[in-house]
A and B are shown apart, each in its own frame.
Chain A
Amino acid sequence: MENKIDQTLDCKGLSCPMPMMKLAKAIKGLSSGDVLEMLGTDPGTKSDLPKWCEKSGNTIIREDELEGGVFRFLILKK
């Protein structure tokens, strides 16, 4: 099943802290119930993002490994 996606945030190639800063800012700009798709390559994001979501109350609804070292998160805004 394909999820709905309201906005895509491309953080490929970026390293800490840019992905988390961009993510926090992008989530701020969405409304409750929106889904943000985030693409990235920094391994650090994979542990930072779940921790931040837990703290901020947003939900990770999907996590995928794509080709070429890219990962993808779908985040549902609280």
Chain B
Amino acid sequence: MSEEKKESGVLAQLFQTFFAKHWPVWVGGLTLGTLNILLFAIKSPWGASGGINNWGENFYKLFGFSNFESAASISTSLYGMLCVLIVVGAFAGALFSKEFAIRIPPIGELIKGFIGGGLMAIGATFGIGCTIGAFFSGVPALSGGAIIFTVGLFLGVIVALKYLMWEMDKFPSFSSGKSFTFLAGTGKKGNWQIWAGWIVTAAMFVMAYVYSENNEVMAWFIIIGLFMGLICQRSRFCIVKAFRDPFMTGEADGSVGVMAGLVVGLIGFTAIKYFGIGAEESSIRAREMTWVFSHFWLRAIIGGFIFGVGMTIAGGCAVGTLWRVGEGQVKLWAAALGFLLISPISKEFIVPPIIKLLPHSTAFKNYLPDYLGYAGAFALVLVIILVWYVFVKWNEKTGKFSAY
């Protein structure tokens, strides 16, 4: 805590509002949901695993693997760049609040990060999408597969949480031992972080401006990605937390924050799809089917389950990993590395032979309004979110399903 003697100015107070304390998670949820609508209005909704897969393909391309020669370079991939900007935005958010530090955990945690990242990659390539594409965007996109993916996530999280508790009981040494922290911004000496935050932010605006000449959509993705990363870091928006905490400490704030984002997204996405907003060059049907993937139901439930296990072990879903990378959490660096290294291999070699064995009836695009109409699909998703809300709030009070 810095002891300010003189009254700080209005701008300094504004800065304090954003960066002195963490934001409530629901503030993060609402703002991220809103930006997600904006992404959809401009192009297509938020996704993270595709971008990380793009990083991985570029990594293998760099080493001359012929399978990935056709991969778009990160600087021209909208979602590859969106992921980069989420890392940078979180980096800026952490710097502004002097929370940035390189935090190196014990070796066991690094291994768990890498394995968790690898599992997320397999879950995302098998289930077509991660907690963002197939959940935070997929559910508002009125995709039946997204709801099944969510069920898979829940099951995976519960199993992996049981594992973590078992590991902590039987092998406590795995998550303890030597750890290191570098470049922390404690006290007055840490004020360099605030300056670094301004430099990073300004650089990103310059980059967006440079892009805007030839690629306006990318310029917008850069700015929105920057804000998304910053919002995630400040509100500690974490989808693992939303699924896990009710079964761990019983805390419901993380879940409610995610639900807030889902509801905002639901309203915006439904309107965009209903009116076919932004469908200029494509058909209205294609606009309706945006972010409705051919994974209903078997691909979704298996993919969701594997992803749920992976994200719980890693301690961050695709986006939770990205923003913690920006904050300097080295366990999540290992998770991101596992994700980007395994993802292209899984997509290219592991998943296709398995998918060939699946009948079409277990992996098709299920668009809820086709069955229930727009009003019915909207109401169904809203009721599911409401039931989830009642469950986590009731559980928070009674602790019936919480481990601690």
Contact = CB atoms under 8 A, between A and B. Distances in A.
Given A22-B168, A42-B329, A69 B101 contact: yes
A63 to B, nearest CB: 10
Contacts of A48: 249, 251
B181 interface: yes
**Interface magnitude class on chain A:** 20 to 34
A15 B332 contact: yes
Contact of B179 (A12, A24, A44, A47): A12
A41 B331 contact: no
A55 B250 contact: yes
A25 B168 contact: yes
Interface string B389-404: 0000000100000011
Contacts of A5: none
Interface in A19-77: 20-22, 24-25, 28, 41-44, 46-48, 51-52, 55-56, 65-70
B295 interface: no
A13 B105 contact: yes
B315 to A, nearest CB: 5
Which of B104, B186, B316 has its CB near the most chain A CB atoms (within 10 A)? B186
B43 interface: no
Contacts of B245: 17
Interface in B189-229: none
Interface residues of B, number: 44
Given A16-B238, A21-B165, A47 B22 contact: yes
B103 to A, nearest CB: 5
B244 A18 contact: no
Interface in B218-261: 236, 238, 240-241, 244-245, 248-251, 253
B329 A15 contact: yes
Contacts of A17: 164, 240-241, 244-245, 248, 315
B57 interface: no
A25 B249 CA distance: 11
A14 to B, nearest CB: 6
Nearest to B177: A13
B99 interface: yes
A69 B186 contact: yes
Given A18-B315, A69-B185, A13 B106 contact: yes
B17 interface: no
Contacts of A68: 181, 184, 186
Interface string B48-86: 000000000000000000000000000000000000000
A56 to B, nearest CB: 8
A43 B316 CA distance: 14
Interface of B: 1, 22, 94, 99, 101, 103-106, 109, 164-165, 168, 175-176, 179-181, 184-187, 236, 238, 240-241, 244-245, 248-251, 253, 315-316, 324, 327, 329-332, 396, 403-404
21 contacts: A13-B103, A13-B109, A13-B179, A13-B180, A14-B105, A14-B106, A15-B331, A15-B332, A16-B241, A16-B316, A18-B164, A18-B168, A20-B248, A25-B404, A51-B251, A51-B253, A55-B396, A65-B187, A67-B186, A69-B186, A70-B184
Given A25-B404, A44-B238, 20 more contacts: A12-B181, A13-B105, A13-B109, A13-B179, A13-B181, A15-B331, A16-B316, A17-B240, A17-B245, A20-B248, A21-B164, A21-B248, A41-B184, A42-B329, A46-B22, A51-B251, A65-B187, A69-B101, A69-B184, A69-B186
